[in-house]
Structure 1
Amino acid sequence: MVFVLDVGNTNIVLGIYKDKKLMVDWRLSTDHKRSSDEYGIQVRQLFEQNNIKASDIEGIIISSVVPNIMYSLEHMIRKYFNQNPIVVGPGVKTGINIKYDNPKEVGADRIVNAVAAFETYKKSMIIIDFGTATTFCAITKNGDYLGGTICPGIKISSDALFERAAKLPRVELVKPDTVICKNTVASMQAGIVCGYVGQVDYIVDKMKKEMMAKGEEDPIVIATGGLATLIAQDSQTIDKVEPFLTLDGLRMIYEKNKE
């Protein structure tokens, strides 16, 4: 079995793969104040609840956009699993050619998503990851990572509205039936969700035009992340929702580097 960890700004998503099948996945809050032992106890409890032993794990791989949590996580893995994890970064084989001005600036999660999507679809694509930030990444049919766009995440936008406007409440992120709404909560939900759908479709449309002007075929648009399904319901441009794209990419990168 392979243990994969995707460390984001809000959550750490963990998964266990047996061969190419995702057996189980979990989410923990990202907290750089937790010690290696605190994370170790949490992970051990999750394993025990699913009848998985540390000795069942043949390899471990991590991608992270939170540098100050890595010491605790790597130390936890060495202590509780007696292994050195693969950490996605410079020197790790991915099969993706990064065309960014400074390749080191590209978040590990964006690279991992690109690997998973390219290995699955083998064509021009745009990947949208709805995380703490929403990222849009353009990949060519030859596996070149061209770059992309970064926007505030949906929850960040919603929280900012609540925190900065004294009379506006915190709202659940669901789509109302109309955009001409009769109460404050529904009005906020319509503005946040429908506004975000419009933002996604506009950015994707612009990215498609730029890619096709460079000779790429019409790219497939793949969405992942916690709120991907919510936005994809009304989006005119999202073709596929892949909820476990990042975990799949970690498993693929592990296979490329396990020797």
Structure 2
Amino acid sequence: MLLVIEQGNTNSVFAVHDGERWLAQWRSATESSRTADEYAVWLSQLMAMHKLEFGLLNACVISSVVPQSIFNLRNLSRRYLHVEPLIVGENAELGIEVRTSKPSQVGSDRLVNALGARELYSGPLIIVDSGTATKLDVIGSDGGFEGGVIAPGVHLSMEALHAAAAKLPRIALQKPLRVVGDDTISAMQSGIFWGHVALIEGMIARIKAERNEAMTVIATGGVAALFHDATPAIDHFDPDLTIRGLLVIYRRNTRDHHPEHR
């Protein structure tokens, strides 16, 4: 079985695939100082709830945008799975053409998303990934990565508003009943929620206009579930985009010999 680890700046996802389907997946807050042993204690308890154990895992693929965490995640695989992990950006061949001026600067999460999207969707694509940052990435009709947009994520915007304005409280992220708020909190919630929707809609429209072609829009990421049904600009909500991309990378690098089948 395969252990997939996708680590973002805010959250990390751990998932298990048996060669045919995803058996389980778990999300935790990203903590760059968490040791391999701490990961193992946390993960073993969750796996036990699904009648899984480390002895069943014999492959691991990792994508992380937090460089200081990779050492501990690598050690988790070595000590507890007894395998050398595939790590995006280090020893994993992705098989995607990156058509940017500085390909090495493109985050591994963006390329993994592109690979996951190519498995299910055809034609030119826009991937909207709502996490710590909100990213809109463009995938060409032939599957190449062609660049994108990076904007502050919704939670960053909320924290910045609270931190910079002394009288504005910290609020919960939720869809307001009306656009025009009748008190401070509802006004802030509207500005955060509908402002973010407007950002997504506006950038999608500008990307399509600049490229002058029909494009399929796929939303993913930790907070995308709140936004995807609030706008017709998003065609599909796909929460498994990133882990599917990591499965594609694993299979490409093992040349169709999949230890997760064992």
Q: Under TM normalisation by the shorter chain, which class is it?
A: over 0.9
Aligned residue number for residue 220 of structure 2: 224
Aligned residue number for residue 257 of structure 1: 253
Checking the alignment, whether the CA contact within 8 Å between 1:99 and 1:145 is kept in structure 2 is yes
Distance 1:179 1:238 in 2: 20
CA gap 1:37/1:91 in 2 versus in 1, 3 angstroms: closer
Shift of 1:171: 1.2
Shift of 1:122: 2.3
Give the alignment of 1:69-148 within 5 angstroms.
69-89=69-89, 92-148=92-148
CA gap 1:231/1:44 in 2 versus in 1, 3 angstroms: same
Checking the alignment, whether the CA contact within 8 Å between 1:11 and 1:28 is kept in structure 2 is yes
User: Residue 14 of structure 2: SS of its match in structure 1?
Assistant: strand
Worse-superposed segment, 241-250 or 166-175 = 166-175
Distance 2:142 2:102 in 1: 20
Distance 2:17 2:178 in 1: 42
User: Residue 233 of structure 2: SS of its match in structure 1?
Assistant: coil
Checking the alignment, whether the CA contact within 8 Å between 2:92 and 2:253 is kept in structure 1 is yes
- Paired-residue identity, %: 38
Checking the alignment, whether the CA contact within 8 Å between 1:224 and 1:243 is kept in structure 2 is yes
| TM-score (norm. length: structure 1) | 0.94
Aligned residue number for residue 260 of structure 2: none
Give the alignment of 1:196-211 within 5 angstroms.
196-211=196-211
Worse-superposed segment, 84-93 or 151-160 = 84-93
Deviations 1:124-163 (A, max 9, x none): 1000100111111000110111000100100000111112
Shift of 1:239: 0.5
User: Residue 230 of structure 2: SS of its match in structure 1?
Assistant: coil
Correspondence 1:14 to 2:10: no
Distance 1:32 1:52 in 2: 26
- Mark the runs of 5 or more structure 1 residues left unpaired by the alignment: none
Shift of 1:86: 0.4
CA gap 1:85/1:44 in 2 versus in 1, 3 angstroms: same
Aligned length: 255
- Mark the runs of 5 or more structure 2 residues left unpaired by the alignment: 256-262
Shift of 1:32: 1.5
Checking the alignment, whether the CA contact within 8 Å between 1:95 and 1:143 is kept in structure 2 is no
Distance 2:123 2:23 in 1: 28
Distance 1:251 1:102 in 2: 26
Shift of 1:229: 2.1
Distance 1:20 1:202 in 2: 39
CA gap 1:145/1:155 in 2 versus in 1, 3 angstroms: same
Distance 1:162 1:111 in 2: 33
Aligned residue number for residue 170 of structure 1: 170
Aligned residue number for residue 184 of structure 2: 184
Q: Runs in 1 of length 4+ with deviation above 3 angstroms?
A: none
Read off the aligned partner of 2:155 and give its amino acid letter. K
Distance 1:150 1:47 in 2: 35
Read off the aligned partner of 2:118 and give its amino acid letter. F
Correspondence 1:236 to 2:246: no
Aligned residue number for residue 35 of structure 2: 35
CA gap 1:104/1:249 in 2 versus in 1, 3 angstroms: same
Aligned residue number for residue 58 of structure 2: 58
